[in-house]
Structure 1
Amino acid sequence: MRSGYTTGACATACTKAALRALLRQEAVVEVAITLPGGEVVGFALHSCEYDAKQARCATFKDAGDDPDVTHGAEISCTVSLNDTGEVVFLPGEGVGTVTLPGLAIAVGEPAINPVPRQMMRAVVAEVLAEEGADPGVSISVAVAGGAQLAQRTLNGRLGIVGGISILGTTGIVKPFSAEAYVASIVQGIDVAIANGLTEVVINSGGKSEKLLRHLFAHLPAVGFIQYGNWIGETLEKIAASPLASFTMGIMLGKAVKLAQGALNTHSNQSSWDKDWVAGVATEAGYPAERCAAIAQLTLASGLTELFPFSATEPFYTVLARHCHAVIGTITGTRPCRLVLIDATEQFITYAFDF
């Protein structure tokens, strides 16, 4: 599948082009930049405007075959000279502003991540050296429709308001790599800790989180982290954090996969093993004919037809113990609460401590 380029790479290309246009007072239609891995790539600029005070260049983001929310969006940079001798990042339309501590960017700054900032500083130094100039440079990155695009991201829960983030650690978007999603998980936990929380509630998505917010109403919004299918990455971040405890909300179908040892529950990464689940039922003490009936189920959510979804049902207790055993291989002895949720949004809570 075809790879593409990050918003950070696009912004870097626009910065380089705009600074050249400003210093040379001529239009720039294409530019090459060096990615963090050393690869040199070219970008076409679909717009370049300049006068004696500032220049603006824009390109369209190509995310390749990745279903990135910013694919096709116009990324632009407006640059001007300043007397600070430094590269200064200014607010830009459609780029969010950081409002909560815990991110790598200070509160009040545009949400341009560290690597894109480094890339933009590098091209500024390159162009200034080419032109024999040494002034400070102000950069304003903008994303057309960024405020609307941000509504399809997790920026809001990270305290990034008003637009998207300028992201990327390699400059390259690999199809279905989920780099941005995993980064939001890591950032979400950092924000929770920076805001004084010692516990978080991780969950698979909107449906489970709605229920969990009612159950743990004492926690602010930043205390809830959506892991999607990336359970392993979320648990690794928790393991490396100072959190005292955590709660994991999980739908029954994902819980079955997790109990089997799957740390990525996407359908193209894992599936439920009916024979293994029948072994769980045997372990819980059910008769052979009831255990064998599991083989006739199509979806794991159908287990509630064989085993009523109740805290007193042994099947779910044994399943939860298997889930906790897998979780513990990553998080160790950290106290964990497991909230098992079925398709009708009923739930069972299990508390595990060592």
Structure 2
Amino acid sequence: MYIEDIPEGNLRYGYTTGACATAATKAALIGLITGNIPDEVTIELPVKKNAVFKISHKRLENDYAEASVLKDGGDDPDVTTGLFIYSRVYMSPGKDIKILGGKGIGVVTREGLPVRPGNSAINPVPMRMIRGTAMKVLNDHGINNGLSILIYAPGGNEVARRTCNPKLGIIGGISILGTTGIVTPFSTSSWKASIVLALRVAIKNSIKDFVFTTGGRSDSEAKKILNGYPEESFIEIGDFAGFSVKRAMDVGANSVTIVGMPGKMSKLAMGCMDLHAHSSSVDFNFLSDIAKKIKMDKKLIEKIGNSNTVAEVMQIINYNNEFINYLKNLIIQRLTEYTNNRLKIDAIIIRSDNGV
């Protein structure tokens, strides 16, 4: 795979399931028309760049042709990397181009997503990419027929269990996604988009009380502690605390409980709304000041101020309840101020030994 004019850097860019499905469709359609499925095809991405895709599997029958592209997300930790995205193309009467999902492609079952319930989880931009590319191939060959296009991904059902699809109400497989055609490694925009989608789906299902977790471990612990909440209430927000609470306000949420480990929660207590290491760091004088306010031993206060990590601080204070509660109340205060008191805020700080 080769994408033109991608910025150079240490991390390798990849391409979306939507781009793969489009390239596979183009190869299959060319094969159906000419009797020869090409070894590679070039497609135009939504960002107005061209990408060249190698074609993996090829099959040419009397009434259809199919081809596949190996999904490669570059250096992004994308669980769909390694799947083959197939397109099977049939000629059909009339001029309509019908695009459906087959085995391994999910079906939408809930409101709030870009695709209506009952339809295959092929998002609008990939749908336009596939249709537009197919129309161009037909026009280039002077053909006025309609098409029936089946997109499928063997193994997609198993892979989808490791995505947020089940939580979003997409069952039976992966989604065909992508607004640019390109996968940016560790993309901030992708994570933020998934947070917004999760909020919208939950609101459409009359859920207005949310649990925001800062990572996989805090998410697992939160589900044990708050086991009365529905699955859709739990949203892993990573470092995007400020962004997430603002989007929660936008969709009309009532409350947010934020759950995380002491390091990131200490940043929140300081008023940092972006919790990434590049954007904020913990001030250990801030933590030692908390120890002073609750009248901890002077030697402990000094040790806290000289600590290198928040984990070290927690060991020094042995998760002192008064200290943790003070930190928790500061988080609630900061987020309440940040949201202008429009959300009910609560916080839970997870211990490293899985206690609370």
TM-score by length of 1: 0.87
2:152 maps to: 142
Matched residues in 1 for 2:313 and 2:250: separation? 35
Q: For the residues of structure 2 that align with 1:289 and 1:168, how far apart are their CA atoms?
A: 55
CA contact (8 A) 2:300 2:317 kept: no
**In the alignment, which of 174, 181, 190 is matched to residue 164 of structure 1?**
174
**Alignment of 1:7 onto 2:17:** yes
Name the amino acid aligned to 1:341.
I
- The Cα of 1:294 is off from its aligned counterpart by 0.7
Cα displacement (A) at 1:321: 3.6
**Pair 1:340-2:349 in alignment:** yes
Q: Distance in 2 between matches of 1:87 and 1:284?
A: 69
Kindly provide the CA deviation profile for residues 110-163 of structure 1, in whole angstroms up to 9, marking residues without a partner as x: 212222112112212212221223333222222232222223222221122222
Partner of 2:3: none
Residue 110 (structure 1) aligns with: 120
The yes-or-no answer on 1:323 pairing with 2:331 is: yes
> Match of 1:351?
none
Question: How far did 1:192 drift?
Answer: 0.6
Mean CA deviation greater in 248-257 or 188-197: 248-257
Q: 1:40 to 1:326 in 2, by over 3 A?
A: farther
Separation in 2, partners of 1:143, 1:268? 37
- What's the offset of the Cα at 1:343? 2.0
- Measure, in 2, the Cα distance between the counterparts of 1:143 and 1:3: 22
The amino acid across from 1:319 in the alignment is L
Does residue 28 in structure 1 map to residue 38 in structure 2? yes
CA distance in structure 2 between the partners assigned to 1:178 and 1:75 by the alignment: 25
Q: In structure 1, the residue corresponding to 2:104 is in which secondary structure?
A: coil
Residue 60 (structure 1) aligned with residue 60 (structure 2): no
Counting matched residue pairs gives 345
- Look up the match of 1:240: 250
Query: Which deviates more from structure 2 when the two are superposed, residues 35-44 or residues 92-101?
Result: 92-101
Tell me if 1:42 matches 2:35. Answer: no
CA distance in 2, matches of 1:121, 1:28: 19
1:101 Cα deviation (Å)?
Answer: 2.0
Contact map agreement 1:238 1:331 (CA 8 A) in 2: no
Segment of structure 1 superposing worse, 8-17 or 244-253: 244-253
Q: What is the letter of the counterpart of residue 345 of structure 2?
A: C
Contact 1:61 1:75 in 2 (8 A): yes
Alignment correspondent of 1:94: 104
TM score, norm. by length of structure 2: 0.86
1:169-221 Cα deviation digits (max 9, x unpaired) = 11111122255443332221111111111212222345434443354444321
> Percent of counterpart pairs with the same letter?
35
Question: Is the contact made by 1:25 and 1:52 (CA closer than 8 Å) also made in structure 2?
Answer: no
SS in 1 for 2:173: coil
Question: Alpha carbon RMSD of aligned pairs, Å?
Answer: 2.5
After TM superposition, give the deviation of residue 289 of structure 1 in Å. 3.6
Shift of 1:254: 2.0
The answer to whether structure 1 residue 123 and structure 2 residue 127 are counterparts is: no
Say whether the 8 Å CA contact 2:287–2:305 is kept in structure 1. Answer: no
Alignment-mate amino acid for residue 350 of structure 2: I
After superposition, the Cα gap between the structure-2 partners of 1:267 and 1:143, relative to the gap in structure 1 and judged at 3 Å, is farther
Structure 1: which amino acid aligns with 2:183? V
The corresponding residue for 2:5 is none
Q: Deviations over 1:45-70 (max 9, x none)?
A: 12222234221111112222222222
Indicate the residue corresponding to 1:350 in structure 2: none
Q: How does 1:246-257 map to 2 (within 5 A)?
A: 246-257=256-267
Q: Is the 8 A contact 1:89 1:110 kept in 2?
A: no
Q: Secondary structure at the match of 1:126?
A: helix
User: Per the alignment, in what secondary structure is the counterpart of residue 90 of structure 2?
Assistant: strand
